[in-house]
Structure 1
Amino acid sequence: MNAWGQGALLRAAPWVFVLIWSTGFVVARYGMPHAPPMSFLAWRFAFSVLGLVLWARWAGARWPTTRSQWGHLAVVGVLLHAGYLGGVWAAVKAGMGAGLVALIVGLQPVLTAVWVSAVDRLGEGRVSLRQWAGLGLGFAGLVMVVWDKLGVGEAGPVSLALALWALLAITAGTLYQKRHVVAGDPRTGNAVQLMAALAVAAPLAWLEAEPIVLHPHFIGAMAWSVLVLTLGGNSLMYLLIQRGAATAFTSLLYLVPPCTAVLAWLLFGETLTALALVGMGIVAWGVWLVVRSQGGSASHPTR
């Protein structure tokens, strides 16, 4: 491939990543009628571990060398995969739309940035007035979006609690990863994380009474989750960061909720009223204020 073609691919990579990342919420909506959440995730984690192990073996990738590295990766895996994905999928199963789930957990970079600044553990400064204003705007916008959904049952107490649990899990996981996980090969690191997530998800799956139905939608959602989201999405994220896009990378995550909303509208007929659209705009404004003050230092979770 010539230099022009390589440059075009690199320019397109961020937008391809946003599209892939956004489909994670849509896939949850697509597969949930045919499987309980933890059962689906347990099989997804198992197939993903198999794929990553084979890929790492073929490429000769290095595995973590110390027990502490394995332990830190396991903690991150439980939080980011079992906790975060479990909350997202369970919220969708409980009736919450893909667009609303994406918006709620999309506040993760804001919470991460403000927490890091507040505790000042990583030397990144205290919380500025601009950041507090951004956090307040983001919360107000989220209330507007959620409030609009309360009357139609999409954001009931159970689904809302599950989505907030997913938000807390991914925030805690990224903060832990930022502080404790050293740089390493993403294939082996993700494999260790998913092994730990599988150890949590598998026993929970045994407690679910609903059976798995091998519907074409279930098979398609599983294949997309493993091949595109886990193997493809994570690899593309690593490529973007390695290519020097780490500073701008965080801003891509804020394009995910509107992209998810459009996909959910096209595929499932999910709607957002004027109040919800205004609330989404306020969330974006608040996030922009925080990220502008933080300088794009929020962590980058795995999917």
Structure 2
Amino acid sequence: MALTLLLVIFLVIKNRLRWVGWRVAFFNMLIGLLAHGVWLTCVLFALDNNVPAGIIALVVALQPMATGALAGLVTGERTNIFQWIGLILGFSGILVTVGFRIDFGSYQSVFGYLIPLLSVAGITIASLIQRRADIYDKGEKLPLDLTLFYQSLATTVVVFFPAVFVENLYTEWEPVFIYTMIWLILAVSLGAYGLMWLLIERLETTKVASLFYLGPPVTMLMAWLAFGDTIKWMDITGLAIVLVGVIFTQFNNSKTKIANS
């Protein structure tokens, strides 16, 4: 909600806030609903239901492989052998990094394991249909700020009802909450999320998706720097495997085969 308000203020100041038509608005709101609403809501819902963070990270790490498997069908961009090797290596690195931390016996609900899968489905579908539109749709391409506005607007509508009827819009305005919101809005929703769409516009979805493998290892390093968390040799090993996997995924010896529209 705060992100949408900030974008409205920015677009009004820049005199760029405008109605783009039902077709374009619906498309961007659908992307936002899947990529931001479904993905983030399911991750937070899983955490709220006490699903171990390691399990969530492991399940969400399936997203690059799902993207690689479906990219050829949806966008016409074939995933080559080097990229498949990279995707498998990347997932193996995540498995090494978080796998030894997971106590599977501590969580018995099958439903809990399925929640993060919805996150995978949401972000995978959104990135693929956005990439397909970037390749084949010759219509107007919205600037990033206007795109993010329509996407965040859809997410706001979705999360508004749970916020009202489940939490009664109750918020504890503590420093930790404020700092967290600033980080989520500026670094995550505007920075990382906006950068993801810029990359999808320019690169194959498989290449962009492989960067998601860097999430858990980078989080591990940030926790070490910020909170003094212990880094184990398995963490370093997993990070090295992930880096090799991401490098492999960027290789493409032949020109991307784009299917006829």
Normalising TM by the smaller chain, what interval? Answer: 0.7 to 0.9
**Partners of 1:112 and 1:171 within 8 A in 2:** yes
Task: Map Cα deviations across residues 190-223 of structure 1 (whole Å, 9 max, x no partner).
Answer: 1111111111112223453595322211122123
CA 1:201/1:223 → structure 2, altered by over 3 Å: closer, same or farther?
A: same
Partner SS, residue 7 of structure 2: helix
Aligned residues: 244
Please say if residues 58 and 99 of structure 2, whose CA atoms lie closer than 8 Å, have aligned partners that are also in contact: no
Unpaired runs of at least 5, structure 2? 135-139, 257-261
Q: Residue 162 of structure 1: CA displacement? A: 3.6
Q: Where does residue 200 of structure 1 map in the other structure?
A: 158
Q: Which residue of 2 aligns with 1:67?
A: 22
What is the distance in 2 between the residues matched to 1:252 and 1:70? 28
**Aligned mates of 1:279, 1:221 — CA distance in 2:** 28
Report the Cα distance in structure 2 between the residues aligned to 1:153 and 1:226, rounded to whole angstroms. 35
* The one of 167, 185, 194 aligned to 2:143: 185
Distance 1:195 1:100, change over 3 A: same
In 2 relative to 1, CA 265–165 (structure 1 residues): closer, same or farther, beyond 3 Å? farther
For residue 281 of structure 1, give the secondary structure of its aligned residue in structure 2: helix
Instruction: Give, in whole Å, the separation in 1 of the partners of 2:91 and 2:212.
Output: 17
Query: What's the counterpart of residue 7 of structure 1?
Result: none
C-alpha deviation, 1:143, in angstroms = 3.4
Q: In the aligned structure 2, how far is the partner of 1:84 from the partner of 1:239?
A: 15
- Answering whether residue 224 of structure 2 is matched by residue 265 of structure 1, we say yes
Please say which of residues 218-227 and 149-158 is displaced more in the overlay. 149-158
**Matched residue, 1:136:** 88
| RMSD of equivalent CA atoms | 3.8
Q: CA deviation at 1:80?
A: 1.1
Label 1:254 to 1:191 Cα distance change in 2 as closer, same or farther (>3 A): same
Cα-to-partner distance string for 1:50-103 (whole Å, 9 max, x where unaligned): 111111111122645221111111111111111111123334443644x87567
The aligned residue for residue 189 of structure 2 is: 230
- For residues 71-150 of structure 1, the aligned pairs below 5 Å read 71-93=26-48, 94=50, 96-97=52-53, 105=60, 108-117=63-72, 119=73, 121-125=74-78, 127-150=79-102
User: What CA distance in whole angstroms lies between the structure 1 residues aligned with 2:240 and 2:105?
Assistant: 23
Q: Given the alignment of the two structures, is residue 290 of structure 1 paired with residue 249 of structure 2, yes or no?
A: yes
* 1:150–1:156 contact (8 Å) kept in structure 2: no
1:274 to 221, 233, 247: 233
Checking the alignment, whether the CA contact within 8 Å between 1:107 and 1:138 is kept in structure 2 is no
Distance 2:214 2:88 in 1: 20
Measure, in 2, the Cα distance between the counterparts of 1:171 and 1:293: 21
- Whichever residue aligns with residue 121 of structure 2, its letter is L
Q: Which amino acid is the alignment partner of residue 217 of structure 1?
A: V
Residue aligned with 1:81, SS? helix
Counterpart secondary structure, 1:60: coil
Report the alpha carbon displacement of residue 240 of structure 1 after superposing the two structures with TM: 7.3
Provide Cα deviations, 1:103-160, integer angstroms capped at 9, x if missing partner: 754554443244213x1x43323x4333333333333333334431222889875665
How far has the Cα of 1:187 moved from its partner?
A: 1.4
> SS where residue 100 of structure 2 aligns?
helix
TM-score when scaled to structure 1?
0.64
Matched residue of 1:230: which SS?
helix
1:71/1:178 CA distance change after superposition, 3 Å: same
**Aligned mate of 2:172, from 213, 218, 231:** 213
Aligned to 1:58: 13
